[in-house]
Amino acid sequence: MNTTALMNTYGQRPLTLEKGAGCFVWDTDGKQYLDALAGIAVCGLGHCHPTLVSAITKQAETLIHTSNLYNLPVQQKAAEDICRVSGMEKVFFTNSGAEANEAAIKIARKYGNDKGVIVPTIITTANSFHGRTMATLTATGNSKIKQGFAPLLEGFEHVPYNDIEAISAHSNNPDIVAVMVEPVQGEGGIQIPDSDYLNKLRELCDNNDWLLILDEIQTGNARTGRHFAYQANNILPDVLTTAKGLANGMPIGACLTRAKTNDVLQPGNHGSTYGGNPVACAVVSSVIDVIETTKLCAQVNSIADYFAKGFEAALANKTQVKAYRQKGMMIGIELNEPCPELVGLAAKKGLLMNVTAGSVIRLLPPLIMTEAQADQVIEIVSSLIE
């Protein structure tokens, strides 16, 4: 397909996809692909889920946009639904995950400024990914994607991931106002911290009057077997961001607050013309309803366990595999050498996946995937590795 009118920010895109249903998509030649990437952890309920299609159609026939100058019942319901399932109290709706993280960064900075901190500084981690806007790019712990965009913003300190002592070393730094981390690093290669990492972060932030900001853009919305990953640790963040699977493909993100962060932003401090769009909000409520009524988190844990056992057997004798990492339906298979060519080879076999961090096969399947479909993924991926 001729795409010369588009900026070349995504490189070569050999596939032209036309339609999708469930865990499958089809290209313009009619070839079927099993989607093990789900729009990069977006389509957790699969493609064109009938409940979501109905919600989109019904709302589009009713009201598409008015701006945030007016109250919108569908937006209020989405806010109440996401606060209920997250344990948070207030929400600001955005159009993307990066914008949700921008809002979180602004909250942290204003929180610091309100306390008289001259240079409010946020601790983030190496190999993290928080977005591609200027603030989220600066927060991201990946020097490669920052090249060419200097000067970046001040007010960020990077430390190793899963290293509490490295963060604790900043306890005497009066400029620190927040710690911002992903419960699992997705773009960083499915890096999974110690099981008590978030608990220790919560305690450290409490002891220093820092905000704990959890970036659950990729891990949220049942992806790890809980509605949000931090719920496995029985804690609450001060600020939570999410997007991707929040509306299963409709563009929306959310920045949630509780307690001392609820009122940091006041009228005039922040806004968004499209944020909280009625159609996207209708889908948010529908996604949450489907997750709850179908007991999807239990299904995720079951199929994740099936994937783990299947890959354990399939990869047991493959010397090319350096490490296998999995949290729910986030799977990373790190090889001993870069393997970007496997993406194209997988597509030829009818499987969509990607490679991140150079040498990590990343699988983010739809949460509704069956065991038979999981077997297909395992067979194709293991054969590619061999």
Active site residues: 129, 215, 244
> What's phi and psi for 320, nearest 5 deg?
-70, -20
Cα–Cα distance between 20 and 235 in angstroms, integer?
Answer: 37
The continuous run of DSSP H or E covering 383 comes out as helix 371-385
* Structure tokens given for 131: 């977005």
| Cα distance between residue 32 and residue 24, in whole Å | 7
Contacts of 137 (CB under 8 A, 6+ apart): 130, 131, 145, 146, 149, 152
Q: Please give the Cα distance from 373 to 350 (Å, whole number).
A: 12
Contact 384, 349 (CB under 8 A): yes
- Enter the tokens of residue 237: 């963040």
Q: Measured at the alpha carbon of residue 199, what is the angle toward residues 133 and 128, in degrees to the nearest 5?
A: 25
Tokens describing residue 195: 């099981």
Nearest of 225, 193, 80 to residue 214 by alpha carbon = 193
CA of 183: how far to CAs of 36, 90, 129, in Å? 21, 21, 12
3-state secondary structure (DSSP) of residue 255:
strand
